[in-house]
Structure 1
Amino acid sequence: MPPSAARAGVPCRTKAFRTVTEPSLPAFPHTVLKAVGNTPVLFIDAPFAAAPRGFWAKLEGFNPGGIKDRAALHMVGRARERGELIPGAPVVESTSGTLGLGLALAGVLHGHPVHLVTDPGMEPIMERMPAAHGAVLHVVDEPHPEGGWQEARWRRVAELLDRYPGSWCPDRYHNPDNVAAYRALAAELTDQLGDIDVLVCAVGTGGHSAGIARGLSERTPGLRLVGVDTVGSTIFGQPARPRLMRGLGSSIHPRNVDYGAFAEVHWVAPAEAVWSARRLAERQFATGGWSVGAVALVAGWIARTQPEGTRIAAVFPDGPHRYFDTVFNDDYCRAHQLLGATPPAEPDEVASPFDCEVTRWTRCTAVSDPLPATVVRATGAAR
């Protein structure tokens, strides 16, 4: 594969605002690129905490396709600058959804055909919208016996790279440009909120958690980074299992995950994320899907348990629209037994990710790279 202090108290929860700075992206006047970045923040207390406690949500769903618009545009732009991606060459990538929209955007702006490899678990709207924007979708038929759907997708990516001479893959799990893309988001948060004590991020490729934390830590060295993963994900040392939730978690070990930056990790189960996303919709209107529900659940617990005045920022990667057939579909949720269970007020605790296999909301403060230093993380696709 290719390359791989002083605060003035917590404001009222109804206040949402944008910065006026421009995102650090190439200047494309009068194009949709101007809609990427400068997303608002919203203070959220209920239903997770009682004012004045709460957390600030960075609403990345205000980007055209979600948070990964930033990464897609940056990775494509840097590859073009270095000559790795030549004009008109195809872009080929594996995706479970949001990155595909970002790459479709980059393809339209820069004139590249885009080929997206996905699997049958992708929501219908996420199949149709990239195609509407000109991308070609390739759906794998069955999971790989060891690496699951992600491994199967990467193998198809390798086939397509061989099929299309000159094609280029962002390799988002291992591409450092995926991390660098989020420095602008860190700068936006600093402009909007000032010093931040705790940053809560979902973890999938590891890009936005690493990039935002590094940017914020330059101003606030004591920043605590809290990772949010899904049960059945192997990123932090749990065994890989079939996963219902999309957008967070992984069955491979991305090199972009900055294990040393995390103060703790929480694993969240699908029913808990559904409860959280739906409560957000009822009480705050601003909501999202699996990642947003999981992140809000964890950020709310931190707001309840940390000293009053702790400034907590939580990244909401996208909005609710792609989840109308899953998280917000009663028939789907009943079929997967996702309704009727209220999450506990506190997570379970484990001393080590290797102590047991977790199946519900669980917290661990011992975070380390689960692979020995001699093991090279790979996508499984041939280079």
Structure 2
Amino acid sequence: MRTNIAPTPVPTPSPAEFLAAPATTMRRTPAGAVGNTPVLWVGEPYCGPRRGFWAKLEGHNPGGIKDRPALYMIERARESGRLAPGGRIVESTSGTLGLGLALAGITFGHPVTVVTDTGMEPLMVRLLRAHGAEVDIVDTPHPRGGWQQARRERVRALLDADPTAYSPDQYNNPHNVEAYRGLAHELIAQLGRIDTLVASVGTGGHSAGVGRELRRFLPHLRVVGVDAVGSGIFGQPSGKRIMRGLGSSIVPGNVDHGLFDEVHWVDPARAVRTARTLASTHYCSGGWSVGAVATVARWLAHTRPITERVVAIFPDGPQRYFDTVYNDDYCRAHGLLETPSTEEPEEIATPSERVVTAWTRCAKVGEIAEGRTDTVERGRR
């Protein structure tokens, strides 16, 4: 005789259980796919025997590392009332934050205008438009502040024309820094002990956010900043740069100069060589920032004690660099395929000792920002 048996009820997970779910849990929204990015050991053949470093692969976020601050800054602006429902988001970016803001616009229901310049890769322009963002391109650099200042002035003009618009101002917004605490927590959960953190520096957001939070748990952490040749962030004069995503012709307020134990300036030829080597040896790479950061992380892995654990943050993947880093014609035209003459950085005692033109290291950073004239004007927030 067949008996009808009531099915066993399936318990509904509590909010705390949802938060504790593993990274493999399926997500119901695009924003839910941000975070919990993997780490990868980068060793031989790029590094020597028993040498290497851990890479945090932020390219596994939908748009890259800046998905984190884009969502966080917009959510905080909505909570505070600075961004009204349906209000337009306007921001200056070289690319990755634009993708994050496009994601935030879709998530929270806001139109997005991204202000960039003629140096943005055509692929990135098309990606931004495909994801619903309007792209406003400035065609003339500012005589003193370069492309970044020209973009910021265009943002200000757009804000003046639309009183309901909001700019998160990634250069000075403290929420850009706070957004990266979760990344620091992920690293601790994944790796435990971390001795040296290597991070690229552009707006200053992820280096300050991750570095400060890690030092709360790891007070002896060394933080190494990676800048671009031609950038003015760490006391060098601003000059022409082709690398995007790191470096700046202005000094963003979010850069925490006192956080860094040393800084390296990396040239584009070195970054290209490293990015391509990583791709062919580890199936793991990215663009200018990844090439520069990995260059420095490898050197540290070889020169610091073998027991130290070096961690590098890779901000994105290789996809957007199809026309630049991974394009032989582009690289050849810019003289980027020549083999560097040395695998060691040059050394300077202070950031202002001389103008650097190739990979260079300085172990004395200090409070470079003291007494400077800040060319950054705070946007409407």
TM-score normalised by length of structure 1: 0.91
In structure 1, what residue type is equivalent to 2:168?
P
Alignment equivalent of 1:51, drawn from 42, 46, 49: 49
Structure-2 residue corresponding to 1:35: 33
Checking the alignment, whether the CA contact within 8 Å between 1:349 and 1:362 is kept in structure 2 is yes
Residues 1-383 of structure 1 mapped to structure 2, 5 A cutoff: 30-342=28-340, 344-373=342-371, 375-376=373-374, 378-379=376-377
What is the CA–CA distance in structure 2 between the aligned matches of 1:308 and 1:143, rounded to whole Å? Answer: 45
Larger of the two Rg values belongs to structure: 2
Q: What is the deviation of 1:166?
A: 1.1
The number of aligned residues is 361
SS of match in other structure, 1:218: helix
What is the CA–CA distance in structure 2 between the aligned matches of 1:300 and 1:150, rounded to whole Å? Answer: 30
Q: What is the deviation of 1:47?
A: 4.2
What is the CA–CA distance in structure 1 between the aligned matches of 2:179 and 2:185, rounded to whole Å? Answer: 11
Q: What is the deviation of 1:349?
A: 0.4
Q: What is the deviation of 1:125?
A: 1.2
What is the CA–CA distance in structure 2 between the aligned matches of 1:297 and 1:343, rounded to whole Å? Answer: 14
Q: What is the deviation of 1:215?
A: 1.3
Checking the alignment, whether the CA contact within 8 Å between 2:257 and 2:368 is kept in structure 1 is no
1:11-59, Cα deviation, whole Å (9 max, x unpaired): xxxxxxxxx95699xxx96111121000000000134422321100000
Structure-1 residue corresponding to 2:11: none
Q: What is the deviation of 1:375?
A: 4.0
Checking the alignment, whether the CA contact within 8 Å between 2:90 and 2:158 is kept in structure 1 is yes
> CA 1:273–1:22 in 2, change beyond 3 Å: closer, same or farther?
farther
1:285-322, Cα deviation, whole Å (9 max, x unpaired): 10001000000000000000111121111000000000
In structure 2, what residue type is equivalent to 1:272?
R
**Which structure 1 residue ranges, 5 or more long, are not aligned?**
1-19
Give percent identity, aligned residues only: 60
**Which structure 2 residue ranges, 5 or more long, are not aligned?**
1-18
> CA 1:376–1:338 in 2, change beyond 3 Å: closer, same or farther?
closer
What is the CA–CA distance in structure 1 between the aligned matches of 2:364 and 2:275, rounded to whole Å? Answer: 27
What is the CA–CA distance in structure 1 between the aligned matches of 2:79 and 2:373, rounded to whole Å? Answer: 31
TM-score normalised by length of structure 2: 0.91
In structure 2, what residue type is equivalent to 1:61?
G
> CA 1:21–1:349 in 2, change beyond 3 Å: closer, same or farther?
farther
Checking the alignment, whether the CA contact within 8 Å between 2:167 and 2:380 is kept in structure 1 is no
In structure 2, what residue type is equivalent to 1:168?
Y
> CA 1:382–1:21 in 2, change beyond 3 Å: closer, same or farther?
closer
Checking the alignment, whether the CA contact within 8 Å between 2:167 and 2:379 is kept in structure 1 is no
Q: What is the deviation of 1:376?
A: 4.4
What is the CA–CA distance in structure 2 between the aligned matches of 1:47 and 1:119, rounded to whole Å? Answer: 38
Checking the alignment, whether the CA contact within 8 Å between 1:230 and 1:245 is kept in structure 2 is yes
- Greater shift, 40-49 or 265-274, is seen at 40-49
Q: What is the deviation of 1:382?
A: 8.8
- Greater shift, 184-193 or 341-350, is seen at 341-350
What is the CA–CA distance in structure 1 between the aligned matches of 2:46 and 2:347, rounded to whole Å? Answer: 19
Checking the alignment, whether the CA contact within 8 Å between 2:58 and 2:65 is kept in structure 1 is yes
Checking the alignment, whether the CA contact within 8 Å between 2:172 and 2:378 is kept in structure 1 is no
SS of match in other structure, 1:158: helix
SS of match in other structure, 1:84: coil
Checking the alignment, whether the CA contact within 8 Å between 1:236 and 1:368 is kept in structure 2 is no
Q: What is the deviation of 1:379?
A: 3.5
What is the CA–CA distance in structure 2 between the aligned matches of 1:192 and 1:204, rounded to whole Å? Answer: 26
Checking the alignment, whether the CA contact within 8 Å between 1:48 and 1:301 is kept in structure 2 is no
> CA 1:233–1:194 in 2, change beyond 3 Å: closer, same or farther?
same
What is the CA–CA distance in structure 1 between the aligned matches of 2:331 and 2:289, rounded to whole Å? Answer: 16
Checking the alignment, whether the CA contact within 8 Å between 2:91 and 2:113 is kept in structure 1 is yes
In structure 1, what residue type is equivalent to 2:135?
L
What is the CA–CA distance in structure 2 between the aligned matches of 1:231 and 1:84, rounded to whole Å? Answer: 37
In structure 2, what residue type is equivalent to 1:150?
Q
Checking the alignment, whether the CA contact within 8 Å between 1:53 and 1:309 is kept in structure 2 is no
- Greater shift, 189-198 or 371-380, is seen at 371-380
> CA 1:374–1:21 in 2, change beyond 3 Å: closer, same or farther?
same
In structure 2, what residue type is equivalent to 1:260?
G
What is the CA–CA distance in structure 2 between the aligned matches of 1:291 and 1:253, rounded to whole Å? Answer: 18
In structure 2, what residue type is equivalent to 1:313?
V
